[in-house]
């Protein structure tokens, strides 16, 4: 296997193991066995266990960015709806939300030093949503007095809500109605009011 293919395979295996065992349970021995390689191969590609975990976090960031960038609809409110639909479809199709591994990173021991990296990833996703809200304000579809950061947190919280429902095994009840209503409620609250 080519080095880049092997590296991607190890990251994919590690991501799957994090879902099964949490970060604490993902040892280099477990990763090597699941990937079908010797432990020194892991270190040759990533330098350390932390390097492997950061590579996984980058994949999670890319997946989240793909979802938040999944719609280019010029109508920002419709774009937010379509991003919500893309997130829901991803949960149904892949049986894993982008926040699932985030929870594992959040609960990882502070000694691993992953929280600052996780905070940066989350901030970059939040910034993407703030930019979408600001675009909606400039196009007139979102109320100009809306706090963009607060609105972005609310929308991001919606994604976490769906992911938590998935983690708890209640996604069938939540994804079929309550989550759609929740996002629509946020959209209605931030939408520009028609002139009186």
Q: Mind listing the pLDDT tens digit for each residue in 105-147?
A: 888 888 888 888 888 888 998 999 999 999 999 999 999 999 9
Asked if pLDDT for residue 74 goes beyond 70, the answer is yes
Q: Is the pLDDT of residue 171 over 80?
A: no
Contacts of 88 (CB under 8 A, 6+ apart): 162, 175, 179, 180
Under a CB-based contact definition with an 8 Å cutoff, are residues 134 and 182 in contact? no
196 pLDDT band (50/70/90 cuts)?
A: low
Which of 103, 148, 96 has the alpha carbon at shortest distance from 127? 148
Is 80 exceeded by the pLDDT of residue 98? no
Q: Which domains does the chain have, with CATH numbers?
A: 1-47 (1.10.10.60), 55-190 (1.10.357)
pLDDT number for residue 94? 67
Closest CA to 33 of 57, 54, 10, 7: 10
Read out DSSP for 23-67?
A: TTT--HHHHHHHHTS-HHHHHHHHSSHHHHHHHHHHHHHHHHHHH
Residue 109 has a pLDDT of 85
Please report the pLDDT score of residue 162 as a whole number: 85
Query: Can you give the pLDDT at residue 14?
Result: 93
Confidence check: pLDDT of 96 > 80: no
The DSSP letter of residue 111 is G
Residue 42 pLDDT level (bands cut at 50, 70, 90) = very high
pTM for the predicted model, two decimal places: 0.83
């Amino acid at each position: 296997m080519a080095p880049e293919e092997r590296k991607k395979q190890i990251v994919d295996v590690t991501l799957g193991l994090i879902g099964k065992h949490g970060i604490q349970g993902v040892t280099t021995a477990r990763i090597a066995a699941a990937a079908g390689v010797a432990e020194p191969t892991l270190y040759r590609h990533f330098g350390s266990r932390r390097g492997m975990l950061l590579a996984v976090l980058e994949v999670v960031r890319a997946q989240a960015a793909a979802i938040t960038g999944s719609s280019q609809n010029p109508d920002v409110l419709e774009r937010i709806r379509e991003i919500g639909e893309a997130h829901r479809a991803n949960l149904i199709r892949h049986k894993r939300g982008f926040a699932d591994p985030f929870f594992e990173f959040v609960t990882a021991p502070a000694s691993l030093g992953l929280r600052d990296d996780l905070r940066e990833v989350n901030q970059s996703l939040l910034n993407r949503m703030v930019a979408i809200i600001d675009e909606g304000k400039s196009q007139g579809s979102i109320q100009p007095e809306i706090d963009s950061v607060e609105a972005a947190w609310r929308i991001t919280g919606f994604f976490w809500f769906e992911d938590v429902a998935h983690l708890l095994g209640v996604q069938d009840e939540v994804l079929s109605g309550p989550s759609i209503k929740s996002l629509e409620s946020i959209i209605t609250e931030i939408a520009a009011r028609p002139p009186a």
